[in-house]
């Protein structure tokens, strides 16, 4: 273990994975629960999911959203991709002395609006104010509870060779929106964040009878890190088709200018499904009928099983290379 925490420990890549595995799991246990975005718990008479997340995005306002919308959507999504119906959230605020009340009201109003989209209720919270210079305007922690209905459980252990990988739209939008808001792109773009609550989309896919083996929202660390984690956690070999991965021209251009890999850029409104091939067209049809899934695409498939799970990327020329977790960081404080 390193002697000091670095900014890379919070970027969702290999160093975050090592921190969780070598420190938090070492002392707290629950290695199996650490594989998911929310812990699914058995209570007398019911099964629930419980999750928490802290949002420190810089800047707090960006095209298409702000830190408040991000906090609600992010926690709703962690519950939804764990197979739960989101029900209740808490909201804890750390406010820097001097923060504009108007800015705080805009953030809180956007949280209420985002919560109303899924019917989730913000029912408790906490507020702390710290001296000027001790924080960066505002940080928000949100925790969430949802219920896992009978028949909604995910079955990643049933992932089979031939299953397909589907993403509900273009990747990397949030990362580029944050770069643009910071003025770090070098070109003008108003590409909005993709931040949105995914529960309505996931509910529609589930209600259509699609057999969902596993699903994750690829936030920090991007699509590649998320699929590496799925592959390693469940002992499968996943092959991505580079040409099939949807990208907006603005994201492709920004990556070329700045030398970034879109596979590792953050998303805040994307979900990756693994479903049997027989259910793939049904899943695509449902997703494409909704705004959050208009650009849904099959981007790969499961090509093997084994103790050593791994992610492969097939290039347009047909060559294949192994992809690993994000090492270091591409962008700090993106969520």
The structure's pTM equals: 0.92
How do the domains of the chain map onto residue ranges?
36-148, 156-323
- Give the pLDDT mean for 25-52: 85
Please tell me the distance from the alpha carbon of residue 34 to that of residue 40, in angstroms, as a whole number: 10
pLDDT digits (tens, 9 = 90+) for 161-208: 999 999 999 999 999 999 999 987 776 778 999 999 999 999 999 999
pLDDT greater than 90 at residue 87: yes
pLDDT confidence of residue 308 = 87
Reported as a pLDDT band with limits 50, 70 and 90, residue 29 is confident
SS3 readout for the chain: CCCCCCHHHHCCCHHHHHHHHHHHHHHHCCCCHHHCCCEEEEECCEEEEEEEEEECCCCCEECCEEHHHHHHHHHHHHHHCCCCEEEEEEEEEEEECCCCHHHHHHHHHHHHHHHHHHCCEEEEEEEEEECCCCCCCEEEEEEEEEECCCCCCCCHHHCCCCCEEEECCCCCHHHHHHHHHHCCCCCCCCCCCCCCCCHHHHHHHHHCCCCCCEEECCCCCHHHHHHHHHHHHHCEEEEEEHHHCCCCHHHHHHHHHHCCCHHHCCCCCCCEEEECHHHHHHHHHHHHCCHHHCCCEEEEEEEEECCCCEEEEECCCCCEEEECCCCCCCCCCCC
Reported as a pLDDT band with limits 50, 70 and 90, residue 56 is very high
pLDDT confidence of residue 40 = 83
pLDDT digits (tens, 9 = 90+) for 233-266: 999 999 999 999 999 999 999 999 899 999 999 9
- Give the pLDDT mean for 117-122: 94
pLDDT confidence of residue 270 = 98
pLDDT digits (tens, 9 = 90+) for 279-313: 999 999 999 999 999 999 999 999 999 878 999 99
Least confident of 41-50, 63-72, 197-206: 41-50
Architecture of domain 36-148: 2-Layer Sandwich (3.30)
CATH number assigned to the domain covering 156-323: 3.90.650.10
- Give the pLDDT mean for 84-107: 95
Reported as a pLDDT band with limits 50, 70 and 90, residue 115 is very high
Which of residues 37 and 133 earns the better pLDDT score? 133
């Amino acid at each position: 273990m390193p002697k000091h925490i670095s900014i890379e420990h919070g970027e969702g890549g290999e160093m975050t994975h090592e921190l969780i595995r070598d420190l938090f799991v070492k002392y707290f246990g629950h290695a199996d629960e650490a594989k998911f975005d929310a812990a699914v718990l058995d209570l007398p008479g019911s099964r629930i999911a419980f999750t928490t997340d802290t949002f420190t995005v810089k800047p707090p306002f960006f095209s298409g959203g702000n830190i408040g919308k991000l906090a609600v959507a992010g926690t709703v999504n962690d519950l939804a991709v764990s197979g739960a119906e989101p029900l209740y959230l808490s909201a804890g605020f750390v406010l820097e002395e001097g923060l504009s009340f108007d800015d705080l009201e805009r953030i809180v109003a956007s949280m209420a609006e985002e919560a109303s989209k899924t019917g989730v209720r913000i029912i408790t919270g906490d507020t702390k104010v710290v001296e000027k210079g001790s924080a960066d305007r505002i940080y928000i922690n949100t925790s969430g509870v949802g219920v896992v209905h009978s028949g909604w459980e995910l079955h990643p252990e049933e992932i089979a060779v031939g299953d397909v990988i589907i993403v509900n739209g273009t990747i990397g939008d949030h990362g580029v929106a944050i770069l643009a808001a910071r003025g770090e792109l070098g070109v003008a773009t108003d590409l909005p964040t993709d931040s949105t609550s995914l529960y309505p989309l996931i509910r529609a896919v589930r209600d259509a009878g699609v057999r969902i083996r596993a699903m994750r929202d690829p936030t920090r660390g991007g699509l590649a890190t998320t699929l590496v984690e799925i592959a390693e956690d469940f002992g499968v070999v996943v092959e991505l088709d580079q040409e099939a991965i949807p990208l907006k021209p603005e994201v492709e251009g920004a990556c070329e200018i700045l030398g970034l890999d879109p596979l590792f850029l953050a998303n805040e409104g994307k979900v990756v499904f693994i479903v049997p091939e027989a259910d793939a067209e049904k899943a695509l049809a449902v997703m494409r009928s909704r705004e959050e899934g208009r650009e849904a695409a099959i981007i790969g498939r499961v090509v093997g099983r084994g103790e050593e799970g791994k992610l492969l990327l097939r290039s347009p020329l047909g060559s294949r290379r192994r992809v690993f977790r994000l090492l270091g960081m591409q962008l700090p404080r993106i969520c």
